[in-house]
Amino acid sequence: MSLLEGLSHIVLTAKTFEEYDQCIKFYSSFGFQTVSQDANATSAEGLVNYLHLFGKSPVQNITLKIVLSPDATKKSPFPEEKDWRLEHALMNSVSANIAGVEEILKSLNFSFQKYTYPGSDLSNSSQDELIHTEIYAHDPLNNLIVFTNKLMPFSKTIYATSPKVTNSFNLTLPSLKSNKKRIGFLTSGGDAPGMNAAVRSIVRVAVSRGCEAYAIFEGYEGLVSGGDMIKKFGWADVRGYLAIGGTLIGTARCKSFRQRSGRLSAALNLVKNGIDALIVCGGDGTLTGADTLRQEWPGLIKELIDNGKLTTEEAAPHKNLNIVGIVGSIDNDMTSTDITIGAVTSLHRICEAVDCISSTAASHSRAFVIEVMGRHCGWLALMAAISTDADFVFIPERPPSENWESEMCRVIKKHRLLGKRKTIIIVAEGAIDLKLEPIKSSYIKDILAGIGLDTRVTTLGHIQRGGRPCAYDRNLATIQGVEAVNAILQATPETPSPMIGLRGNKITFQPLMEAVELTHQVEVAISKKDFRRATELRDPEFAEDYEAYVATTFVDNKDMLVPEYQRLRIGIIHIGAPAGGMNPATRTAVRFALNRGHTPVAIYNGFNGLLEENVNELSWIDVNGWSSKGGSELGTNRSEPDFDMGMVAYQMQKQRFDALLFIGGFEAYHSLIKLHKARDKYPAFCIPMICIPATISNNVPGTDFSLGADTSLNAIVDNCDALKQSASASRRRVFVVELHGGQSGYLTVLSGLAAGATSSYIPEEGISLKTLQSDVNHLRRRYKEDKKGNSSGRLILRNECVSDTYTTEVIANIFKTEGRGLYDSRTCILGHIQQGGAPSPVDRIRATRFAFKCLYFIEQHAFPTMSTEQTVRPRVYTNTKESAAVIGIEGEKVICKPVDDLLKDTDFKNRKSTKAWWIHLKGLVELLSKWGYSEKETETENLYEAIDKSMQ
Ligand code: ADP
């Protein structure tokens, strides 16, 4: 459609001064700005005007050179009555405000043609916003211009112009001079992996928004001492921060800040440095200190004036202090948020350690008592126990029963009898019994020795502080850093200081002191032996996770058994490509099913296996160790039931399946739909059927996260860190990295955020020559800014399906050639490495949650109307729409959604969900790699250079 698609500048030649002037006016009306004009021209002839459109996205950046020349030949006008879509356009202009374009054309008295097409939803937007509109108009030189609200001309999907996602960011940049706040930030209390990622995003977003960012070193110590401990940070100061554990700006426990005198010095230092807002990252102590400072602020300022340390003029701009808290704590001990920065990385280290210990324990048939951190919070211990198939766990919120010693020995003996060669006990450092007496690892060891087990104690200690942050913590901290700056910019003197949290995948804001107060109530509840309350105060999943752990770990708990006539034969099948979490989900389903009295049956190698009768009942010990196993122990492939539907039904009947549990990606979802649709024809499919989404692409409708996606992100980020290191060492090298994901850009965007990529190409947006040109310019700018001999490696992430034309190789070659010696490029195709090795703890936990709830779903739909007096086993028969569902995470809830209801959210052609809650994060990847922000001079300077060079 567009003649000049892909070019970053266009030359227009006007014959008369009038046309020249009209052209400038016309384009200025649509946001083009004059960046340069030849004011020295001696006569009107030869006049030149450069106009530039400064767009937010690369495709919206374009330069026009308008030249006045008597030799110009004007295009003849295209007939009004014809369809202007048949004409070649000079350019495509992307505009979110298409109605505004129409208004402007009307006010300029220009005729236009308008066409609308229905779009498809990607962001929960209303249908009105999904109309794709094109407006065709001619400029004063009769060139056809197309205005469209379709983000990318080649994209398959149309975005709503303003995505209504709850956690979208305002990425619009205010003018550089407005809103110039001085934002101070510090990290305090215990260090936590991800703190550096938060610092990086605070600095970069603050700078992008025209603010100044001040690092305060060593936590409150730096604030109290002032001087060199407070330093202005710029863009480059936080380079490389993402991948580093701990906190690079230091942390300390500061006694003096607990005293008013200490806080008085802190106030003085803040005012002297002109800092009017503070972001603190730490635990509840840090947040309490921050709130005290804010409450005392007016009094502190008055005192500083009274004792002559500050003049009234100096103090005048600092009547208020805005404070925002981000929680950095490996313990995940803050209530009011699902997760704190650092906790997931810490869990990674614990799981790695327990996985290692497990092999030696199994080799020697030993028992290990492993002590993990958590003085008042059992989150790390419980999640580690779930993730590593531990035999017993001790946490402060749920002390064990009175005679726990004999109960523990009974459980362990039973596990040993079933064939387990290792015993793992996880103890939180704050574990207590019902009398509130501490439960010590050494005591547990003595008890186990008493039943003849060779037992060792391992205290994991500071290893749990984490080191390199995992993908989850990097993204959590990055996003919370952005929101912290946004909160500062939006704060009024009356706004209470917020704590930034997370519920589901949504960012939350809560008055800081309310959150701290609730956290302290956990300790109070424990001290009052109100353990139910203590558990409730944790995140909403905590109590359920504990229940799931107990229900899937201990055997022979007769209380859990359902009556004999309600017992089911449950088929379990893996479909699609392997994904981390498939085995842990199967393990949980099998163990819980057995504890309820059901019979779990493995179907090996997908539907092919079913047809070959490759099925087997699974026992408790068959799934031993599967919590930490990657891939698919049952075997998986992409084949779906098609022509052989009758044979599938026959085998289902033959195997007497009462329910079917699918674990897999889009193929699993699609297979479930096919079986559900064939229920009229085949009664064998009239049983409860549920799908656990498991695919690294995260493209299954009905869930925000599928199993395997987190494992894959970590695998990608690990490799990207290595590539960045290699690229940095080689100096001035760009890696174009090709990633999996099918038609979904999830992995590309999320790993781009976690690895600090410069740009990411995703199928939802497509890719064009113009994008590449923009990226080349961007890379050239960045490499020019780098200090000599100190250049960082850069990454461009490309989804495998983004374009058939612009392959990874082609892109790398274009970058290399167009870099013109400033940098070179290499490709890297990560391939199947992206499936990861062992599943990540996040995937193990999600797998447990999903599988546990799936079993309840199956029971509920197998006998929805059965009376409790019934004793004869009826045949399972259900064909309700609710009995064929996908389990998923939606916001903060785990829910089962009927497949019938998900059809409208499914893009079958591209095999993915039409919802992409994560799409707005792409803008953040670009913002944090300096897209959209440039010192004005550099921008203009490079612009001229680019124009001049390309016109030579
Ligand atoms: P965390 O933030 O991880 O909970 P701490 O409890 O050690 O770690 O708190 C970190 C710092 O916050 C302390 O060293 C102290 O400077 C400050 N702080 C903690 N509690 C208070 C308080 N009640 N009043 C003032 N400052 C406090």
- The confidence band for 952, taking pLDDT boundaries of 50, 70 and 90, is very low
* Residue whose pair of structure tokens reads 């490799």 in the numeric block: 719
Amino acid 286: pLDDT: 96
Separation of alpha carbons 152 and 149, rounded Å: 9
Do 716 and 571 belong together in one domain?
no
- Contact predicate 273/234, CB 8 Å: no
Looking at the fold, whether 220 and 264 belong to one and the same domain comes out as yes
Out of 139, 191, 291, 331, which one is annotated catalytic? 331
Q: Which of 142, 176, 210 is the endpoint of a domain?
A: 176
Predicted pLDDT at 42 = 56
Residue 44, pLDDT > 90, answer: no
Angle at 708 between CA 702 and CA 713, to 5 degrees: 110
Q: Residue 153: is its pLDDT beyond 50? A: no
pLDDT in tens, 105-116: 988 889 998 877
Q: Which atom of ligand 1 is nearest to the CA of 284?
A: 4
What local confidence, expressed as pLDDT, does residue 373 receive? Answer: 96
Rounded Cα gap, residues 635 and 578, in angstroms: 8
Q: In this predicted structure, what is the pLDDT of residue 165?
A: 28
702, 846: one domain = yes
- Confirm or deny that 835 is annotated as ligand binding: yes
Domain of 357, CATH number, reads 3.40.50.460
Q: Are residues 831 and 847 in the same domain?
A: no
Q: How many angstroms does the Cα of residue 186 sit away from the middle of ligand 1?
A: 13
Ligand 1 lined by 190 (C-beta under 6 Å): yes
Do 727 and 631 belong together in one domain? no
Q: How much distance in Å is there from the Cα of 315 to the middle of ligand 1?
A: 26
- The answer to whether the beta carbons of residues 346 and 535 sit under 8 Å apart is no
Let me know if residue 620 belongs to a domain: yes
Residues 752 and 651 in one domain: no
pLDDT tens profile 545-577: 999 999 998 877 788 899 888 999 999 999 999
Residue 698 labelled as part of a binding site = yes
In the prediction, which pLDDT does 226 show? 96
Same domain, 101 and 169: yes
Strand blocks (E) in 375-484: 392-394, 423-428, 455-459
The verdict on 775 and 890 lying in the same domain is: no
Do 100 and 24 have their domain in common?
yes
> Does residue 198 lie in a domain region?
yes
- Contact 288 CB / ligand 1 (< 6 Å): yes
pLDDT given at position 504: 79
Residue 159 lies in a domain: yes
Q: Whose CA is nearest to atom 20 of ligand 1?
A: 285
DSSP structure string for 692-712: EEB-TT---TT-S--BTHHHH
Q: Is 284 one of the annotated binding-site residues?
A: yes
pLDDT at 947: 44
- pTM reported for the whole predicted model: 0.82
Task: Choose which residue among 218, 258, 520 to substitute to test ligand 1 binding: the one with the highest number of ligand atoms within 8 A of its C-beta.
Answer: 258
The whole-number pLDDT of residue 160 equals 27
**Which structural domain range is residue 821 located in?**
710-836
Task: Write the pLDDT tens digit of every residue in 676-707.
Answer: 999 999 999 999 999 999 999 999 999 999 99
Residue 574: inside a domain? yes
* CA 520–ligand 1 middle distance (angstroms): 13
What are 163-211's pLDDT values in tens digits?
A: 222 333 444 333 334 457 999 999 999 999 999 999 999 999 999 888 9
Q: Which of the listed residues 158, 176, 194 is the one where a domain comes to its end?
A: 176
pLDDT at 801 over 80: yes
Q: How far is the CA of 337 from the centre of ligand 1 (A)?
A: 19
Instruction: pLDDT band for 865, please (50, 70, 90 cuts).
Output: low
Same domain, 716 and 614: no
Domain end marker among 144, 161, 176: 176
Taking each continuous run of H as one helix and of E as one strand, the counts in the chain are: 27, 32
- C-alpha closest to that of 268 among 319, 228, 223, 306: 223
Q: In this structure, is residue 156 part of a structural domain?
A: yes
Residue 572 is classified by DSSP as E
Average pLDDT of the chain is 87
Cβ atoms of 464 and 354 within 8 Å: the answer is: no
Q: Any known ligand binding at 832?
A: yes
Residue 222 Cα to ligand 1 middle (Å): 14
Average the pLDDT over 223-228 and give the result.
97
pLDDT confidence of residue 513: 87
pLDDT (0 to 100) of residue 196: 98
**Would you state the pLDDT for residue 117?**
65
**What would the pLDDT profile of 581-636 be if each residue is shown by its tens digit?**
999 999 999 999 999 999 999 999 999 999 999 999 999 999 999 999 999 999 99
Looking at the domain assignment, is residue 939 inside a domain?
A: no
Q: What would the mean pLDDT of 482-495 be, rounded to a whole number?
A: 89
Give SS3 for 122.
coil
Residues 826 and 720 in one domain: yes
Higher pLDDT, 905 or 47: 905
Q: Which atom of ligand 1 is nearest to the CA of 190?
A: 3
**What local confidence, expressed as pLDDT, does residue 118 receive?**
55
pLDDT at 518 over 50: yes
Q: Where does the pLDDT of residue 414 fall: very low under 50, low under 70, confident under 90, or very high at 90 and above?
A: very high
Residue 436 Cα, ligand 1 centroid: separation in angstroms? 26
Q: Which atom of ligand 1 is nearest to the CA of 328?
A: 3
pLDDT at 154 over 70: no
d(CA 573, CA 667): 12
Tell which atom from ligand 1 comes closest to the C-alpha of 188: 10
Within a domain: residue 524?
A: no
pLDDT confidence of 475, banded at 50, 70, 90? Answer: very high
| Confidence tier at 734 by pLDDT (50, 70, 90) | very high
447 and 502 inside one domain: no
State how many domains the chain has: 5
519 ligand 1 Cβ < 6 A: no
Q: Is residue 531 in a domain?
A: no
Q: State yes or no: 401 annotated in a binding site.
A: no
Is the minimum distance from the CB of 286 to ligand 1 under 6 angstroms?
yes
pLDDT of residue 52: 73
Q: Is 254 annotated as a binding residue?
A: yes
Decide whether any atom of ligand 1 lies within 6 Å of the 258 Cβ.
yes
Confidence at residue 943, expressed as pLDDT on a 0 to 100 scale? 46
Q: Where are the beta strands (DSSP E) in 523-577?
A: 569-575
Q: Quick check: CB of 254 below 6 Å from ligand 1?
A: yes
Does the active-site annotation cover 237? no
Say which residue the tokens 């509920």 belong to.
860
Indicate if the pLDDT at residue 942 is higher than 60.
no
pLDDT(856) > 70: yes
Instruction: Give the domain CATH number at 478.
Output: 3.40.50.450
Nearest-CA residue for ligand 1 atom 19 is 285
Which residue CA neighbors atom 26 of ligand 1 most closely? 289
pLDDT of residue 156: 30
Average pLDDT, integer, range 383-405: 96
Give residue 462's pLDDT. Answer: 94
Return the CATH number at 82. Answer: 3.10.180.10
